[in-house]
């Protein structure tokens, strides 16, 4: 076997492994190695919900109403909202609703989500910190479902389930919805075995004493670094599928692309912060990080290497067929992209389109990471 063939098969295997092999392994491991957790539905510890907002006038009032409707004892729940230099009516709306249970902190200078979270976390009085987004709405019992696990001292964090709604049946939203269903299932399996290797920013909770300030000099993902800081402290972060938050899916693939570029840049910045967890001696957490995160983030480069190697191997029937399959995949994605320009959407085309778009966004995110052109302050993308 030549080195080009070896490169082709190693890169192909890694790309296949992170999307297919790892979930299959998790299913097998979970059959024999599931941890039992102690749960107490009457564990009414105090909770602080932390929300960062930037120009959220369209949703912030609904979010406040949603928080007030949560099924949790009065006096045990506070909501802290930090407005990161909002220039619309967000501050005006928040000021109108501020009271003892809803605390509003306005920051004149826009600094980014991490800086705002660091500041409002220091003001929180609850024993449990719940992190939420301004456009994420909670089911009434969501906080109760999260908090029930903290009676178990081995649990330092709990990740809830994000459900993406597509009320208008938009075909272009199907890719993102399928992705989140896949991610939720992986989190379920990881938490069942030991610990998840990342939450989602819409709904997750940690013990207040385990919060560590986030870096503010670069874009980072709080729902990646905060849960891993909990794991680094020796606790598990588990997944509770019945603690549900919902959001509307992105209105189009272009909007989702911009969001994923920012997330991609933040993910690459975050690797440096979790290097100590990547050594094999860390056991399952290292296995999960490499399998679920690091290799997944390398897929754009793996795909490019597979394509380049395959070009060198043309002339043999087997490799000709594999090249044809790649050409079909990318061709379908391009066709879907062209049709999207004319607002034409074919349901089965959205899947190759979304796969290629997500990996292209990761690649662009990597470029922004190496050039440090992705700023900590985010540009709001509609969802």
How many domains in the chain?
A: 1
* pLDDT, tens digit, 9 for 90 and up, residues 99-123: 888 999 999 899 999 999 999 999 9
Asked whether residue 106 is assigned to any structural domain, the reply reads no
Looking at residue 174, what is its pLDDT?
Answer: 73
Q: Average of pLDDT values for 343-364? A: 90
Q: Say which range, 119-128, 186-195, 247-256, 288-297, has the weakest mean pLDDT.
A: 247-256
Q: How far is CA 8 from the centre of its chain?
A: 30
Return d(Cα 237, Cα 210) in angstroms, integer.
Answer: 12
- Please spell the DSSP secondary structure of 72-137, one letter per residue: S-TTSEEEEEEEES--SSHHHHHHHH-SSSEEEEEESS---HHHHHHHHHHH--SSEEEEEETTPE
Q: Give the confidence band of 74 by pLDDT, cuts at 50, 70, 90.
A: confident
CA atoms within 13 A on the CB side of 24: 6
Indicate the helix (H) or strand (E) that contains 52. strand 47-53
| pTM of the full structure | 0.92
- Backbone φ/ψ region at 75: left (φ over 0), alpha (ψ -120 to 50), beta: left
Closest CA to 67 of 110, 42, 99, 106: 99
Asked whether residue 250 is assigned to any structural domain, the reply reads yes
Asked whether residue 111 is assigned to any structural domain, the reply reads no
Which token pair is 320?
């000709």
Contact 159, 240 (CB under 8 A): yes
Asked whether residue 103 is assigned to any structural domain, the reply reads no
Which token pair is 133?
């987004």
Contact 112, 84 (CB under 8 A): yes
Q: Give the confidence band of 255 by pLDDT, cuts at 50, 70, 90.
A: confident
Domain containing 352 equals 1-41+138-205+217-383
Return d(Cα 337, Cα 247) in angstroms, integer.
Answer: 24
Return d(Cα 106, Cα 313) in angstroms, integer.
Answer: 60
Q: Which of 14-18, 29-33, 103-107 has the highest mean pLDDT?
A: 14-18
Looking at residue 340, what is its pLDDT?
Answer: 83
Asked whether residue 84 is assigned to any structural domain, the reply reads no
Asked whether residue 102 is assigned to any structural domain, the reply reads no
Residues 6 or more apart in contact with residue 294 via CB below 8 angstroms: 271, 278
* pLDDT, tens digit, 9 for 90 and up, residues 92-102: 999 988 888 89
Asked whether residue 54 is assigned to any structural domain, the reply reads no
Q: Is the pLDDT of residue 222 over 90?
A: yes
Asked whether residue 11 is assigned to any structural domain, the reply reads yes
* pLDDT, tens digit, 9 for 90 and up, residues 302-328: 999 999 999 999 999 999 999 999 999
Q: Is the pLDDT of residue 273 over 70?
A: yes
Residue 138 phi, psi (nearest 5): -100, 145
Return d(Cα 70, Cα 245) in angstroms, integer.
Answer: 12
Return d(Cα 318, Cα 289) in angstroms, integer.
Answer: 34
């Amino acid at each position: 076997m030549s080195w080009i063939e070896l490169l082709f098969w190693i890169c192909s295997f890694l790309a296949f492994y992170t999307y297919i092999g790892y979930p299959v392994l998790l299913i097998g491991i979970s059959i024999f190695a599931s941890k039992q957790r102690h749960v107490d539905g009457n564990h009414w510890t105090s909770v602080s919900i932390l929300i960062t907002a930037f120009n959220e006038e369209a949703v912030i009032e609904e979010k406040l109403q949603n928080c007030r409707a949560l099924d949790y004892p009065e006096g045990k729940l506070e909501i802290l909202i930090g407005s990161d230099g909002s220039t619309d009516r967000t501050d005006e709306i928040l000021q109108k609703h501020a009271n003892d249970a809803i605390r509003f902190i306005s920051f004149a200078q826009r600094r980014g989500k991490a800086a705002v979270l660091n500041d409002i976390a220091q003001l929180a009085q609850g024993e449990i910190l719940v992190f939420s987004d301004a456009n994420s709405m909670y089911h009434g019992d969501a906080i109760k479902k999260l908090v029930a696990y903290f009676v178990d001292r081995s649990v330092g964090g709990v990740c809830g389930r994000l459900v993406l709604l597509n009320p208008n049946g938009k075909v272009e939203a199907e890719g993102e919805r399928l992705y989140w269903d896949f991610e939720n299932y992986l989190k379920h399996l990881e938490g069942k075995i030991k610990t998840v290797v990342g939450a989602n920013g819409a709904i997750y909770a940690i013990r207040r004493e385990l919060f560590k300030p986030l870096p503010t000099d670069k874009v980072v993902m709080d729902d990646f670094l905060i849960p891993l800081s909990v794991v680094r402290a020796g606790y598990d972060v588990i997944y509770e599928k019945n603690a549900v938050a919902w959001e509307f899916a992105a209105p189009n693939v272009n909007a989702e692309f911009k969001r994923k570029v920012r997330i991609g840049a933040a993910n690459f910045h975050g690797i440096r912060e979790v290097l100590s967890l990547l050594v094999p001696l860390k056991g399952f957490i290292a296995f999960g990080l490499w399998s679920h995160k690091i290799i997944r983030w390398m897929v754009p480069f793996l795909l490019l290497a597979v394509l380049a190697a395959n070009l060198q191997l043309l002339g043999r029937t087997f490799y000709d067929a594999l090249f044809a399959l790649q050409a079909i995949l990318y061709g379908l994605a391009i066709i879907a992209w062209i049709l999207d320009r004319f607002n034409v959407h074919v349901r089965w085309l959205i899947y190759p389109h979304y796969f290629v778009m997500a990996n292209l966004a990761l690649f662009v995110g990597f470029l922004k990471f190496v050039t440090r052109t992705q700023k900590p302050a985010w540009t709001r993308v509609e969802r």
